[in-house]
Structure 1
Amino acid sequence: MKKAVFFFFGMLLLSCGEKVVEKPENLIPKEKMVDILHDLSLLNATKAAFGSKFKESGIDVMDFLYEKYQIDSVQFVESDLYYASIPLEYQSIYEKVEERIDNRKNIMENISKQKNDSIKEVQLRLRDSIKAKREENKPTEP
């Protein structure tokens, strides 16, 4: 039984490296695919949060991406299918996308923290100046 399980997993690992789909002539390069999928994830998240604004403006996410990256839908689908047929390659693409999103998230959190710290500092200085003014205007006892 153990041999059968090892054989099955061995075949599975070997098949992960095989190209099931032929490489398309107009394959989108890996780094450009990472850029496209990164933008796609950001746009889809934005659309989920502000869907009405997308509808009002008439923006179609995929049409926007096709124009931005000067590709067409067939080229995108064929490239995505090709990379998906090579699981390790596809995984590395999505790991790079995830890394970029995490970096962007960290940057936004740092900016937010800095703004919150600045607001707290301004509020503290305002309280101190109000307190000082009150002390200044406080009548002195004879």
Structure 2
Amino acid sequence: MIQRIILGLVMLLLFSCVEKLVEKPDNLIPQDKMVLILKEMAIVNAAKGTDLGKLRNNGIDPTSFVFEKYEIDSTQFVDSDRYYASLPLVYETLYKKVESSLENERLQMEEDKKVKDSLDLLQKSTKKEIDSSLKDTIPTLKSPQ
């Protein structure tokens, strides 16, 4: 019993001495919105890696686009990211949610592609059958001799 009390006091002492590395910013982005922003940033970074020239030719700055979409500025994003990074368990949770969301989106896109491919294949085979049956029903014209 005394050991449990001592252990509890030691744990209380350790946790009460934890120093906050970064103060919570006044304009902190909520966690759910931060997940969406981080997901968009991951997609933007992937797009930059595939064809940045196409984005530039269309006058699109991907990072600015994300900031405008979520009505934030770069300072607010950096401050919020730094704050969440100072809380490793929270930060890990955020990124696990981002990863899960991206994975779900990937699986949905694969499923949509399978459905589209199946429909395309069905359409091609139906078209071939129709063309084939039309050839059989149309009499061939013979040239006069």
For the aligned pair, the TM-score class normalised by the smaller chain equals 0.7 to 0.9
Hey, what's the Cα distance between the residues in 1 that align with 2:122 and 2:19?
A: 59
Hey, what's the Cα distance between the residues in 2 that align with 1:26 and 1:100?
A: 25
Deviation at 1:45, TM superposition (A): 1.5
Question: What is the TM-score normalised by the length of structure 2?
Answer: 0.74
Hey, what's the Cα distance between the residues in 1 that align with 2:60 and 2:132?
A: 52
Could you tell me which residue of structure 1 aligns to residue 6 of structure 2?
A: none
Question: What is the TM-score normalised by the length of structure 1?
Answer: 0.76
Could you tell me which residue of structure 2 aligns to residue 28 of structure 1?
A: 29
Could you tell me which residue of structure 1 aligns to residue 5 of structure 2?
A: none
Hey, what's the Cα distance between the residues in 1 that align with 2:71 and 2:121?
A: 46
- SS of equivalent to 2:27: coil
Higher relative contact order (CA 8 A, sep 6+): 1
Hey, what's the Cα distance between the residues in 2 that align with 1:61 and 1:131?
A: 50
Query: Which sections of structure 1, spanning at least 5 residues, go unmatched?
Result: 1-13
- Is the Cα–Cα contact under 8 Å of residues 44 and 63 in structure 2 kept in the other structure? no
Could you tell me which residue of structure 1 aligns to residue 100 of structure 2?
A: 99
Deviation at 1:18, TM superposition (A): 6.6
| Paired residue type of 2:86 | S
Could you tell me which residue of structure 1 aligns to residue 3 of structure 2?
A: none
- Is the Cα–Cα contact under 8 Å of residues 18 and 86 in structure 1 kept in the other structure? no
Could you tell me which residue of structure 2 aligns to residue 56 of structure 1?
A: 57
Hey, what's the Cα distance between the residues in 2 that align with 1:73 and 1:107?
A: 31
Hey, what's the Cα distance between the residues in 1 that align with 2:19 and 2:36?
A: 25
Pairs within 5 Å for 1:104-115 = 104-115=105-116
Deviation at 1:34, TM superposition (A): 0.6
| Per-residue CA distance 1:92-121 (angstroms, 9 max, x = gap) | 111111111112111211111111001111
Deviation at 1:122, TM superposition (A): 1.2
Single out whichever of 83-92 and 47-56 deviates more from structure 2. 47-56
Q: Which is higher, the Rg of structure 1 or of structure 2?
A: 2
4+ residue runs over 3 A deviation = 133-139
Deviation at 1:136, TM superposition (A): 3.9
Identity of aligned residues (%): 40
* Residue-pair matches, total: 124
Query: Which sections of structure 2, spanning at least 5 residues, go unmatched?
Result: 1-14, 141-145
Pairs within 5 Å for 1:78-97 = 78-97=79-98
